[in-house]
Amino acid sequence: MIVRDEGAEDAAAIAGVIASAFAGARHSDGSEVRIVEKLRAADALSVSLVADDGSVVGHVAFSPVEIAGAQGWFGLGPVAVEPARQSQGIGAALIEKGLARLRAQGAAGCVVLGDPGYYARFGFRAHAGLIYAAAPAPYFQALAFAGEPPTGEVRYHRAFG
């Protein structure tokens, strides 16, 4: 399996992976495919990677977020892996490569909305001064690449609704 940048030819396969990964998930509202499509259309997919083993089996998206005047912050998500291929390290490989890409591009940090137990392995943690009103505080986490995260309310790209 390789992790590579998405290509224009991958859009349908990415949509299929996302749809199957989030089908029936209790935390999903079914908007994940539309979010990625809207981010792509707005040229707001700062990093978009696929896991490919002859076909696309996983995808991760990173897009810019706004935090009280701070520059260089991104949001991770959605991340999706074909259900039959989950728990094999594919999601972790996508996330690690995406975070490395952000660092190499000079990003200040990244935020994520998700399971604290899962995202802690990548260095994400909740920060009291960083607010995302749509989620319980422990589930909204940040990873600063240098220093501490900024404080203030986080706003995702309008593609998130």
Angle between helices 32-41 and 11-22 (to 10 degrees): 150
Give the model's pLDDT for residue 111.
97
Residues 4-32: what's their mean pLDDT? 92
Residue 45 banded pLDDT, cuts 50, 70, 90: very high
Residue 3 banded pLDDT, cuts 50, 70, 90: very high
Query: Domain total for the chain?
Result: 1
pLDDT, greater one: 80 or 148: 80
Residue 158 banded pLDDT, cuts 50, 70, 90: very high
Could you tell me the CATH number of the domain that includes residue 94?
3.40.630.30
Q: What is the mean pLDDT of the chain?
A: 95
Task: Tell which phi-psi region holds residue 129, choosing left (phi > 0), alpha (psi between -120 and 50) or beta.
Answer: alpha
pLDDT in tens, 83-114: 999 999 999 999 999 999 999 999 999 999 99
> How large a percentage of the chain has pLDDT more than 70?
100
- Strand residue runs (E) in 21-157: 47-52, 56-67, 73-81, 109-113, 130-131, 140-144, 152-156
Give the model's pLDDT for residue 136.
84
For residue 66, list its beta bridge partners.
155
Domain of residue 152 covers 2-160
Give the model's pLDDT for residue 161.
82
